[in-house]
């Protein structure tokens, strides 16, 4: 479990730990309300997660739009 994540309760840290360990989760981004830092956990074998963490430097809004338009799990391209 993640012992120190500022701005998150014990329950939120527990839920985040479950999401990060899931084999069906490729990218988890958490930004606690009112704080400047973001917590990013990415599976580098997932092309979208790899793009978000290692891709070109672009505004966050463009990255989120690109993720939104990706096909969901099990959908055809």
**Positions of the chain with pLDDT under 50:** 1
d(CA 71, CA 46): 13
Q: Say if 59 falls within a structural domain.
A: yes
Q: The tokens of 4 are what?
A: 């120190």
In a domain, 7, yes or no: no
pTM of the complete model beyond 0.75: no
Average predicted confidence (pLDDT) for the chain: 78
pLDDT of residue 16: 87
Give 22: exposed, middle or buried? Use CB within 10 Å, 0-12, 13-18, 19+: exposed
Asked, for residue 57, whether it belongs to a domain, the answer is yes
- Say if 10 falls within a structural domain: no
Report if residue 52 sits inside a domain: yes
Give the residue numbers spanning the domain of 31: 27-72
pLDDT at 2: 55
Per-residue pLDDT at 3 = 58
Nearest to 25 by CA among 11, 4, 2, 45: 45
Domain count, the chain: 1
Q: What is the pLDDT of residues 29-44, one digit of tens each?
A: 887 777 777 778 888 7
User: Token pair of 43, please?
Assistant: 């599976």
């Amino acid at each position: 479990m993640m012992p120190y994540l500022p701005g998150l309760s014990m329950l939120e840290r527990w839920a985040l730990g479950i999401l990060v360990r899931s084999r069906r989760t490729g990218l988890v981004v958490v930004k606690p309300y009112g704080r400047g830092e973001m917590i990013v956990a990415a599976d580098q074998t997932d092309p979208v997660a790899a793009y978000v963490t290692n891709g070109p430097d672009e505004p966050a809004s463009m990255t989120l739009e690109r993720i939104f338009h990706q096909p969901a799990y099990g959908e055809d391209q």
